[in-house]
Structure 1
Amino acid sequence: MTNWIGDTFTSDAGWSHLEALVDLGSRMAGSDGEREGLELTRDALADAGARNARIEAFEIQGWERGDSAIRLGDETLAEGMNACIALPRSPSGEATGEFVDLGYGVPEDFEADLDGAVVMASSDTPDSVDRFVHRNEKYCRAVEAGAAAFVFANHVEGTLPPTGSVGTADAPVGDIPAVGVSKETGSRLARRYEGDELTVAVDCETPDATSGNAVAELGPDTDEYLVVSSHVDAHDLAEGAMDNGAGTATIVEVARALAAREDELDRRVRFVAFGAEEVGLVGSSLYAEGVDPDRLAAVVNVDSNVFGRTLRLDHHGFDPLAAAGERVSDRFDHPVSLGADLVPHSDHWPFVERGIPGYMVSGETEGRGRGWGHTGADTLDKLESRNLREQAILLTELVVELADESVTTERRDRDEIAAALEREGKATGMKVTGDWPFQR
């Protein structure tokens, strides 16, 4: 029966949920908006036919934005949402030091004498480096080098300061003030103020806060199950349409389609819309700590998928997951991009690092970096409902494939995961940021 395909392609459940999420305003982790987003998602999963819909709450380190600026003496050089914004979990305070533009901010750039400096690094990574150097790695290297403050400059044009959290799981509020500036502001600072004494000022609050995970289930009540996930929270300066309203809307649409195919499922499917992803994978990490790895067959995590039309499945070297993706692509005669490298970001990772099979599901885009993501331009107008519906169809079929009891995926040994991260050049950055969980 293929009626479910037509029903999904003409459904507005996912797109309507996406519109509802972006219209909430801020969905920053721990905020009222995030809580409303979790409640909307819980209710949408229930309306789709999933059972036992609920929110599992947990406490987090909150962070609330105030003003931020870069100054030269009494002169303000950058201020306001189109020029300079605080990076979440920056501490509140001011720091003054010699301004040093590090360009890309690759690891060797931080070997200079940066003690007491205000350092700036780009959000981009050059093609000559064989891995993407994450924002938080650049921040942590600046802290290690003794910098007084950190400036993160966007490489995307359009007066779009980038956001993104700093700090570590053990110390969620960072050590030095940190701001994001637009490409235009960064270029002006580098051209005119190299070597001058600049001040970075951040005003913010760090209250205790509550986040949560929205959970619901479909299929038989089996011991073994799949997790289909997304994250509800988004950075507070934009709608969070692509990252990750799109992923959450997609799993709602998948739940609706699976409810019509429930008798085809040999394994239970648990939907989990995580909270507090953008501040360190908090919701998924807490959830992963409580799972029995032998009962969790696979994780299908959807994050930032609708902006790119072609569905990308990073399968982390789990061959049966790659094969399932190929079967779905062949069955629908529809392109699906497959990747075997490890992706140590987003909510699949707390599971994959434990050797549990998992996908990072996204939309394929060109180049490195986030594009409009993590800026004020992450808005609904960048997305198309057609893409959401097509991807929901493919992912529904993928979940049905994985729910078949004949499909088994061996766990990967944690030492093997660690060795792969080292081969791929990702271990170095994870050790710098405190995200290395392995004993080697």
Structure 2
Amino acid sequence: MKKSLLALIFCSFSAFAQDSDSLVIRKIYNEILSKGDAYKTLTHLSKKIGPRLSGSEGAAKAVQYTKKVMEDYGFERVFLQDVMVPHWVRGQKETAFIEAGKQKINVPIAALGGSIATPAAGIKAEVIEVKNFEELEALGTEKVKGKIVLFNRPMDPTKVNTFEAYSGAVNQRGNGASQAAKYGAVGAIVRSMTTLQDDNPHTGGMRYATGVPMIPTAAISTNGANLLSKMLKENPKLQFYFKQSCESLPDAPSHNVVGEIKGTEKPDEIIVVGGHLDSWDLAEGAQDDGAGCVQSIEVLRALKALGIKPKRTIRVVMFMNEENGLRGGTKYADLAKQNNEKHIAAIESDNGGFTPRGFGMVGTDAQIAKVAVYKNLLSAYDLKEIGRGGGGADIGPLGQQGTLLIGFKPDSQRYFDFHHAKTDTLEAVNERELNLGAASMAALVYLLDKYGL
């Protein structure tokens, strides 16, 4: 961007954003850090409702609970958006073991979301280990047919940003089964997406390619993957057994949950803040993404409690079905277009409730420059990473409508310790860090509302 445009934006902001904005932002932080309800709401969502996979009873309960929370806070308008979602169920707990001669060693696995079941008796076969699809292709049908493929590429521990490490490894989870099936494999086992070495398998979504046989696939814990790899080097003819009983049921009705405060001057301009209400079925979904949901609700609660009457309409959205379909985010964007709504910005919190670091943005140079000038105000709260980056999966479809997409960025180091695993519980969330995130988002919403884009 030309320096003159940046200077013009900065001068325009500086003329108005002086002590008054600093005082308001301080009040927002004080309100949330001393009186915030986010942890209380998350406690109910985690402990009273628990897992909330799309189509489940837990997801339905979460819809009604968060709707009531918003109504009790007195948001001006609270409503549901109907959306049909995938309904995959895990069934009985999976079993797996490594068999080498007379030795049998049980290992922890978890079926990947969307996978088919094994036959009732399970599958037992020899194992071929690969790190990537290129190695699989080089082996070809002759060496893969009739075997189970172990995809054992770890997340890169040298990446400081763990989301970058995740992106570099996750394609084996999403596409591994179909890639293996192309060469005649009877099953696929994928190393869990975490840098932590433990016995907890991390589930997640997978998808089958058109025209390729569907084979069952599961995640194996990092300790289990390390053990299997070690034993394969010692005995390439060992066999692996696994059994799972998951299935995909017909699509089920569900909802996005929406609450809003109407703008006083430009009500037709909408700023969205949200997270996804669904979670995987292995745990409570406290970090992924209960934290983002309750932080988003807290943004509106705090603004209302402080008597801040926004110029623009501020809307909080609990998106449904981010984990295995993105139906809620797609439906929200479709309805926005259908209703001729103008969303100037959308903020998503889906990276956990850890210590805030800043915001990543997807938009035009002018939009990003407009937000970048807030650094002076926000850096006082350790929000120093403000610039281009990721927006968020649920708000992504709004980008096609010219909306500035903003992803809340907490510290990433511990997120994948809990992501999609049974350890994603309330106990993994620090209340102060959670509140700091909510306050960070509320401060940015205040500035976006006051100055627009």
TM-score by length of 2: 0.79
Aligned pair 1:12/2:36, yes or no? Answer: yes
Alignment of 1:340-419 (within 5 A): 340-342=388-390, 346-352=393-399, 355-366=402-413, 370-404=416-450, 406-408=451-453
Match of 1:108 in 2: 134
State the alpha-carbon separation in 2 of the partners of residues 123 and 184 from structure 1. Answer: 13
- In structure 2, the CA distance between the partners of 1:283 and 1:123, relative to structure 1 (3 Å rule), is farther
Tell whether the 8 Å contact from 2:89 to 2:248 is kept in structure 1 after alignment: yes
Deviations 1:401-439 (A, max 9, x none): 2223x532xxxxxxxxxxxxxxxxxxxxxxxxxxxxxxx
Contact 1:58 1:211 survives alignment (8 Å): yes
CA distance 1:249–1:71, change in 2 (3 Å): same
Deviation sequence 1:185-215 (CA, Å, 0-9, x none) = 1122222244434343220232232321111
Deviation at 1:63?
1.3
1:228 aligned residue? 273
Check the 8 A contact 1:231/1:244 in 2, yes or no: yes
In 2, distance between residues paired with 1:226 and 1:210? Answer: 27
> SS at 1:206's partner residue?
strand
Instruction: Give the residue type in structure 1 aligned to 2:30.
Output: G
Change (3 A) 1:176 1:36: same
Q: Secondary structure at the match of 2:259?
A: strand
Partner of 1:295: 342
**Residues 256-276 of structure 1: CA deviation (Å, up to 9, x unaligned):** 112245654221112110111
1:214 to 250, 253, 257: 257
Please report how far the alpha carbon of residue 64 of structure 1 lies from its aligned counterpart in structure 2 after TM superposition. 1.4
Quick one: distance in 2 between partners of 1:106 and 1:289? 36
**Aligned equivalents of 2:181 and 2:271: distance in 1?**
40
Q: Verify: 1:22 aligned to 2:46, yes or no.
A: yes
Q: In structure 1, how many angstroms separate the alpha carbons of the residues matched to 2:433 and 2:31?
A: 15
Q: Which runs of 5+ in 2 are unaligned?
A: 1-22
Q: Distance in 2 between matches of 1:302 and 1:395?
A: 9
Alignment partners' CA distance in 1, 2:88 and 2:386: 36
Q: Supply the RMSD in Å over aligned alpha carbons.
A: 3.0
Q: Structure 2 counterpart of 1:159, which letter?
A: D
- Aligned pairs, number: 397
Shift of 1:16: 0.4
Partner of 2:77: 52
CA contact (8 A) 2:177 2:214 kept: no
Distance 1:31 1:116, change over 3 A: same
Which residue of 286, 293, 312 maps to 2:331? 286
Point out where structure 1 has 5 or more consecutive residues left out of the alignment. 409-440
Give the 3-state SS of the residue equivalent to 1:29 in structure 2.
Answer: coil
Equivalent residue of 2:394, what SS?
coil
Based on CA coordinates, which of the two structures has the bigger radius of gyration? 2
Q: CA deviation at 1:52?
A: 2.1
Identity percentage over the alignment?
Answer: 23
Task: Specify the SS of the correspondent of 1:290.
Answer: helix
Aligned to 1:316: 362
Show the counterpart of 1:413: none
Residues in 2 aligned to 1:348 and 1:124: alpha-carbon distance in whole angstroms: 29
Residue matched to 1:149: 187
CA distance in 2, matches of 1:179, 1:353: 34
Provide closer, same or farther for how the CA distance between residues 317 and 58 of structure 1 changes in structure 2, counting only shifts above 3 A: closer
Cα deviation for residue 354 of structure 1 reads 5.5
Q: Which amino acid aligns with 2:204?
A: G
The more displaced of 153-162 and 227-236 is 153-162
